[in-house]
């Protein structure tokens, strides 16, 4: 937890420069009413250099924290997880090298569990793809309804974006629970292996779940047909389909939704829990004081 908040502080501090420069470039684009401004390539180069420096300076800070907290080289002396040792499938056998008793788990059983986990993860990714295509299918019908005047103009893109943002949050939460259950079921030997496998599961799913809709708009939409209608973005001044506007709107909706949900879960929920605990403790203390006063009387 401490390392997470250390990274969050480092990330927030380093975002200051690109965010300010990005606002300047974006404002210039709006003022000039063009998507091609002189400083845009320079801003792209700056972001590439910034990303490299951000990562390298975080590596330094991470190494400093690891040294301060005594976490350097801990994997070499890491013990096996109690959950691993107590599992019925783990046996204690004599090591052919040292002759000492050591924990042993059938590799075939472990590989079978990993295969089942991969199958379930691929199934969840399939659910994501179905949800995303269903949302864009809905968007097609809303666009048709807009053209008939049945719904207000602009509702199709906005509603589809909001539904997609909600779908991302819901599936991320549901899959997070599934990933933990799968990791426990796989019964990894050490905490490091356990955490590495859990991170890999969550990363790949959340990456596809969070960004597939953006890849769809940027690279797929102009080349497919949904509900019998060819999909294409709004044409630019030259008549070429340009997906940047729709991509920006979709990214903005997802970003704002995740920002709100993240702040609620990380700040508001703990605050409400603390207030509830304080109120509970106050009522308990009040009850104790009343009992003490009654006993004295």
Closest CA to 250 of 130, 142, 128, 162: 162
pLDDT at 222 exceeding the cut of 90: no
**Confidence label for 237 from pLDDT (cuts 50, 70 and 90):** low
Strands (DSSP E) contained in the chain are 90-94, 101-105, 225-226, 229-230
Euclidean distance between CA atoms 84 and 294, whole angstroms: 53
Instruction: Read off the pLDDT of each residue in 32-54 and give the average, rounded to a whole number.
Output: 85
Instruction: Read off the pLDDT of each residue in 68-72 and give the average, rounded to a whole number.
Output: 78
230 CB-near residues (< 8 Å, 6+ apart): 224
Please give the share of the chain, as a percent, with pLDDT higher than 90. Answer: 25
CB 22 within 8 A of CB 43: yes
pLDDT at 238 exceeding the cut of 70: no
118 CB-near residues (< 8 Å, 6+ apart): none
pLDDT at 27 exceeding the cut of 70: yes
Q: What tokens were used for 172?
A: 């991320």
| pLDDT, position 38 | 80
CB 188 within 8 A of CB 81: yes
Closest CA to 91 of 77, 109, 106, 78: 106
Q: Are strands 225-226 and 229-230 parallel, antiparallel or unpaired?
A: antiparallel
Euclidean distance between CA atoms 151 and 160, whole angstroms: 13
Euclidean distance between CA atoms 123 and 116, whole angstroms: 11
38 CB-near residues (< 8 Å, 6+ apart): none
pLDDT tens readout for residues 111-166: 898 899 999 999 999 999 999 888 888 888 887 787 777 777 767 777 888 888 88
| pLDDT, position 54 | 94
Element (H, E) at 198: helix 191-215
pTM of the model: 0.69
Domain spans of the chain, in order of start:
1-72, 106-296
Q: Give 4-67 as a DSSP string.
A: HHHHHHHHHHHTHHHHHHHHHHHHHHHHHT-S--THHHHHHHHHHHHHHHHHHHHHHHHHHHHH
Helix (H, G, I), strand (E, B) or coil at 70: coil
DSSP state letter for 80: B
Residues listed for the chain:
297
pLDDT tens readout for residues 83-106: 877 878 877 777 777 777 777 788
pLDDT tens readout for residues 255-291: 888 888 878 887 888 888 888 998 888 888 888 888 8
Q: Which residues pair with 93 in a beta bridge?
A: 102
pLDDT at 239 exceeding the cut of 70: no
* Averaged pLDDT of the chain: 84
| pLDDT, position 230 | 66
């Amino acid at each position: 937890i401490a390392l997470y908040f250390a990274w969050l502080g480092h990330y927030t501090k380093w975002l200051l420069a690109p965010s300010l420069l990005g606002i300047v470039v974006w404002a210039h684009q709006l003022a000039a009413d063009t998507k091609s401004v002189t400083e845009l390539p320079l801003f792209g180069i700056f972001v590439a250099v910034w990303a490299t420096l951000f990562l390298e300076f975080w590596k330094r800070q991470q190494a400093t924290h690891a040294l301060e907290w005594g976490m350097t080289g801990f994997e070499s002396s890491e013990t096996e997880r109690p959950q691993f040792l107590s599992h019925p499938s783990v046996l204690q056998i004599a090591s052919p090298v040292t002759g000492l008793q050591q924990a042993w788990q059938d590799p075939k059983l472990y590989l079978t569990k990993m295969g089942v986990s991969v199958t379930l993860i691929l199934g969840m990714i399939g659910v994501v793809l179905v949800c995303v295509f269903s949302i864009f299918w809905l968007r097609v019908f809303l666009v048709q309804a807009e053209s008939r005047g049945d719904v207000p103009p602009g509702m199709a893109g906005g509603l589809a974006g909001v539904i997609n943002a909600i779908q991302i949050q819901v599936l991320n939460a549901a899959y997070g629970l599934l990933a933990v259950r799968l990791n426990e079921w796989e019964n990894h030997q050490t905490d490091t292996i356990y955490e590495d496998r859990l991170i890999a599961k969550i990363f790949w799913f959340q990456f596809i779940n969070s960004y597939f809709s953006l890849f769809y708009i940027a690279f797929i939409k102009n080349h497919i047909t949904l509900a019998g209608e060819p999909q294409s973005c709004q044409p630019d001044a030259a008549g070429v389909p340009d997906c940047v506007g729709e991509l920006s709107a979709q990214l903005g909706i997802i970003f704002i939704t995740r920002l709100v949900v993240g702040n609620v879960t990380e700040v508001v929920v703990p605050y409400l829990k603390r207030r509830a605990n304080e109120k509970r403790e106050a009522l308990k203390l009040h009850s104790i004081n009343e009992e003490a006063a009654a006993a004295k009387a």
